[in-house]
Amino acid sequence: MNVLGVNGSPRSYGNTAKLLELALEGAKMEGAETERIDLYRLDIKPCLGCLSDDQLACRHPCPVKDDMSGLYEKVLSSDGLIIATPVYWYGLPGPLKNFMDRLTSLQNMIYHVGYSLLEGKVGGVVVAGGRQGGVITAAEVIASLNYMGFLIPPWSYAYYAGLGDALRDKIAVLGAVNVGRVVALAIKGHSLSERWFKSDLELDPIVKRVRARVEKLREKEEKERREIWAEKQLSPSPELNHYDS
Amino acid sequence: MNVLGVNGSPRSYGNTAKLLELALEGAKMEGAETERIDLYRLDIKPCLGCLSDDQLACRHPCPVKDDMSGLYEKVLSSDGLIIATPVYWYGLPGPLKNFMDRLTSLQNMIYHVGYSLLEGKVGGVVVAGGRQGGVITAAEVIASLNYMGFLIPPWSYAYYAGLGDALRDKIAVLGAVNVGRVVALAIKGHSLSERWFKSDLELDPIVKRVRARVEKLREKEEKERREIWAEKQLSPSPELNHYDS
Amino acid sequence: MNVLGVNGSPRSYGNTAKLLELALEGAKMEGAETERIDLYRLDIKPCLGCLSDDQLACRHPCPVKDDMSGLYEKVLSSDGLIIATPVYWYGLPGPLKNFMDRLTSLQNMIYHVGYSLLEGKVGGVVVAGGRQGGVITAAEVIASLNYMGFLIPPWSYAYYAGLGDALRDKIAVLGAVNVGRVVALAIKGHSLSERWFKSDLELDPIVKRVRARVEKLREKEEKERREIWAEKQLSPSPELNHYDS
Amino acid sequence: MNVLGVNGSPRSYGNTAKLLELALEGAKMEGAETERIDLYRLDIKPCLGCLSDDQLACRHPCPVKDDMSGLYEKVLSSDGLIIATPVYWYGLPGPLKNFMDRLTSLQNMIYHVGYSLLEGKVGGVVVAGGRQGGVITAAEVIASLNYMGFLIPPWSYAYYAGLGDALRDKIAVLGAVNVGRVVALAIKGHSLSERWFKSDLELDPIVKRVRARVEKLREKEEKERREIWAEKQLSPSPELNHYDS
């Protein structure tokens, strides 16, 4: 049982990444093996929309050459997929949208072999935003995954909205861990008559593990990110506003 | 195995109703017993939003007295729920929205008994619209059902968009029948590794049955509807534009 | 210059109503006369979707007999309309949706006189929700108003998300006052090259006035609402959770 | 008076491009000078989300080096912006989303100079899709532009949904031309009490001009696109399905 987590945030240590780590912890809790991918570290080119010229021109393998080749294999060999996204103008950031758009070649196999190569996989989504836009973003992902052939288990999305640290928002933490749990439960064929969402999870050790992991990533990456601003003489405010989505 | 279909259109014979009948046929095909409810024939009062005063004030049974009492029982005793809706300004018509809003008292039992009374039910949606707005409407329903505790099986929404007869749109017909099928399959615990969507269904007899059923409803109801206009000296155009959503 | 504010919340004193009052204060600040309507106090029946039988059957005056008659007149004689809504399952509550749906008869005059009776009016929206769903709700309203013929001025929506008092959220307060301001500015023909959003407004007196007004409404109405629960032996929790959306 | 049109489709000759050309014709009709940009021909890198580390780190000029530099200047010197997009999984394709996301540095100047550099510009959107998803896509763009500071004139979005040629869909053509018109009218300070949408436009010469223009682009580009498939031994179906979105 493999669950793939895809981080669509430019930051490996922000709130989006935290929610994803929480979800993957939830999946592990139910016996899944998990892997996390940071899309901004990969070269994922845009979808060329071949099916608009000819419905049959779009098929797997997609002719565009980039890191999506390896990622297609990971998606195909996974049983569950968790999309983690910040809210960028009420939707997914461009690189994550490229990833979603490129999944079309797997879905469009309907026209070649009679079914979507994604049918029967299980999907979930976690969203982090500064203020609002979580639902419109989550709903777009869920509806898209569902129309690609994914099953969406009960309570399969969670969000954090705010300028603080998502790991301190108990509702967001509980929700995100459960997103991973329910994805794994659905893969295992959990009975519909049993409980799915679990509210009495011991969250502290999970939060601690996730925090340790993202703080290590932050150390490495935050400096690098600051150099981007420095290059242009952009002066970040002295009191950093850790918004972190 | 019970699947409840809720028609949110004012018309019992329009495209929304047709799509619902198709979905219920699909559910029957997989062994479900089905029931159809026409919301406009019932008195469903608005949600009073009690949980905004106090999270614990909202609970089942809801204190509002109307036909929702019986409908709550039907929802609770069903295994699957299929929402059928026309597109009214990019969302559900008011009466259907009242129905959805009133389901809150079942979901909010989380705060009283620890779980949503809707958890583990299976949801689907069919949408009919004159032109556009199908996805935003379907996505709102799917995201809402999912957050109430519903499982959403692969391919669980379908739509017809146009001014004609939905029963003549093969993609819409096939999609709608499959919405019912996948809802029933999920209830039965269908394996994720088997096919869900079936494209080689024999649709003609189904379409014929559905057409007969809605035409009978049209005969009764259309006259009644026309009297509403007549009363105000509204003159319908001589060549009727059978839009039917 | 008349600006009509429509409260779609069941409560006259909650966060939705507060945001609406703030917006109307903003409109007054720019010289508008304002009026507030509480939809839950009126009888607004559902739209019958006559145009689905015949595009020409839908026209003003709508044949449905209820309080919408008076409301149509108010809408027609207003220059601006501000919709205030709580987030109910990622959309408008049923009664507000009924109101929006019924505006169709004004828009559909396109097919009778060549233009929408709503064309050239100015629209804004304020949204209050417990957690998320503000953007999907606001976007649905804005897109709907725009397609009815409304002009949407810069920064024409604002939201509060949370379980507390919207009047204490400075961003929400500033946003809501500006929604009213920009609606009035657009009516006055404000130049595009001048500022629209004003962040240095003196908000304290406005907040004070609005608080006084809603507290008076709360006194009257909260008791009435509590009686609804009492009737069913529903016991609100002793520590009230003033969610107020 | 300058109106900038941004084509977010990979194809310069498809339905999205056609709708954009129609809209720009509409803008010219009202006296605007227009320019069209094809995003897929440019290098637009993703937004790095600097404001999540520090709200003040995001500012104009954005430190990311690519073709956005020139595009920022075009946006800043334009009075109106028309976004043209295909529907890719119920939203914008990645490259167009990158463009939208990168506009954040202009909007976020609120925190540096007190106002959005986009305030008071006028926005519109045209959408082409194979089946559904037009409204959710348009609503996301409209809500985003509005919150960046754009004014949205009446009737500022139009869509084509289908597998055929958008230029043959009269409603889509009329709608798209009017999107350009109303953007130009709003820039000119058109009175709210006059008509905005014009249904009696002579469309034939416009359609002819647009068709000539896109067919020339198709000749050049279609071959190039087909070579992408050929490279991978992908065999397009002999009967081409001109979907064209």
Taking the CA of residue C137 and the nearest CA in chain B, the distance in Å comes to 10
Residues 6+ apart with CB under 8 A from C53: B11, B222, B225, B226, B236, B240, B242, B243, B244
User: Which ipTM value was assigned to this complex?
Assistant: 0.93
Instruction: Give residue-wise pLDDT tens across range D39-66.
Output: 999 999 999 999 998 899 999 999 999 9
Q: Give me the amino acid identity at C94.
A: G
Task: Please judge whether C142 and D138 are an interchain contact, meaning their C-beta atoms are less than 8 angstroms apart.
Answer: no
Q: For CA atoms D133, A178, B92, B79, give the dihedral sign.
A: positive
Cα dist. B17→A189, B20, B215, C101, D7 in Å?
33, 5, 11, 19, 39
- Answer whether residue A17 shows pLDDT above 70: yes
Q: Domain spanning A2-231: which superfamily? A: Flavodoxin domain (3.40.50.360)
* Mean pLDDT across chain A: 93
pLDDT recorded at residue C242:
38
Work out the pLDDT band at C224, boundaries 50, 70, 90. Answer: confident
A:D CB pairs within 8 Å: 194
Band (pLDDT 50/70/90 cuts) for residue C232 is low
In the predicted structure, residue B223 carries a pLDDT above the cut 60: yes
- Whole-angstrom distance, CA of residue A69 vs CA of residue D115: 44
Q: What is the pLDDT of residues D6-30, one digit of tens each?
A: 999 999 999 999 999 999 999 999 9
- Read off the tokens for A141: 């992902």
pLDDT in tens, B135-180: 999 999 999 999 999 999 999 999 999 989 999 999 999 999 999 9
pLDDT of residue A236: 47
pLDDT at C137 over 90: yes
DSSP state of C152: B
Q: Which residue of B has its CA nearest to A118?
A: B154
Where do the structural domains in chain A lie, given as residue ranges? 2-231
Residue B15 distance to chain D (closest CA, Å): 16
Task: Kindly list the residues from chain B whose CB atom is less than 8 angstroms away from the CB atom of residue A119.
Answer: 154, 195-197
Going by the DSSP 8-state scheme, the letter that residue B211 receives in this structure is H
Residue in A with minimal Cα distance to D14: A52
pLDDT digits (tens, 9 = 90+) for D192-232: 999 999 999 999 999 999 999 999 999 989 888 888 777 66
Interface membership of A77 toward B (CB under 8 Å): no
pLDDT digits (tens, 9 = 90+) for D63-98: 999 999 999 999 999 999 999 999 999 999 999 999
> Measured between beta carbons, which residues in chain C are less than 8 angstroms from residue A139?
90, 136
Q: Which one of A3, A119, A198 makes the best mutation probe of the B interface by having the most chain B beta carbons within 10 Å?
A: A119
Give pLDDT, residue C223.
87
Residue range B68-76: average pLDDT? 98
**Predicted confidence (pLDDT) at residue D243 exceeds the cutoff of 80:** no
Given an 8 Å threshold on Cβ–Cβ distance, is C225 in contact with B53?
yes
- Taking residues A83-89, what's their average pLDDT? 98
> Over chain D, what is the mean pLDDT?
93
Report the C-alpha gap between C140 and C119 in whole angstroms: 18
Per-residue pLDDT averaged across C165-176, rounded? 97
What is the reported pLDDT for D238? 40
pLDDT confidence of residue D69: 96
| Averaged pLDDT, A174-189 | 98
* pLDDT tens profile A140-152: 999 999 999 999 9
pLDDT for residue C226: 83
Do B245 and B16 touch, CB atoms closer than 8 A? yes
Instruction: Report the distance separating Cα D216 and Cα D221, nearest Å.
Output: 9
Task: From residue D130, give the alpha-carbon distance in Å to each of A108, A129, B161, B163, D16.
Answer: 13, 31, 12, 17, 11
pLDDT of residue C222: 87
pLDDT score, position D46:
98
